[in-house]
Amino acid sequence: MIQTEMKQEFKTKGFRKTVVPSDIMSVTQILKSTGFFKPYEIDVAIELVEDRLKNGVGCGYQFYFLEIEGRTVAYGCYGEIPCTIKNYDLYWLAVDDNFRNKGLGGLLLEKIEADIKSHAGRGIYIETSNKELYTPTIAFYEKSNYQQIALFKDFYDIDDNKAVYYKKL
């Protein structure tokens, strides 16, 4: 019941697309809380936030943030893939560990998909590790109707494959 109430409450409020300087710290805290990402991966995520702050929409990175009681608890970063006709990459989607399994990631993904559709986006690609740690992530994407379309052996490291998922919009 709580999960449903929370999902209802945030369908109409709590989301924002504007990137603000405090998002650097918020994204850092969200990603650290998950236990999924190495420090250099978090650095890459922060670089994208900084690029957006410095260069605006022209940088190509779009963001959605979810706030609860003034605290940013989830975010997604995505952008149109250069040299394609309206295909997008979902670069990051993360929910603070204290707010996971409440349906917020799904709500955020719905917002991102709707935004991409509003820009005539045709499809979304997602790259992720397929290590055991990422089993819940993969289950989340598959539940959201993404299909694995490629697997790159030993991509990130030995025994750390890259799985590519796709959803046609």
Tell me: the pLDDT tens digits for 33-62?
A: 999 999 999 999 999 999 999 999 999 999
Spell out the residues 6+ positions from residue 36 whose beta carbon is closer than 8 angstroms to its own: 94, 133, 134, 137
Q: Specify the number of domains making up the chain.
A: 1
Per-residue confidence (pLDDT) for residue 10, from 0 to 100: 52
CB atoms within 10 A of CB 135: 10
Chain centroid to CA 3: 20
Q: Are 126 and 90 in contact (CB under 8 A)?
A: yes
CATH of the domain at 128: 3.40.630.30
6 confidence band (pLDDT: 50, 70, 90):
low
Q: Are 151 and 161 in contact (CB under 8 A)?
A: yes
Taking residues 112-137, what's their average pLDDT? 96
Domain range for 86 is: 2-168
- Two tokens at 7? 């999902």
pTM for this predicted structure: 0.89
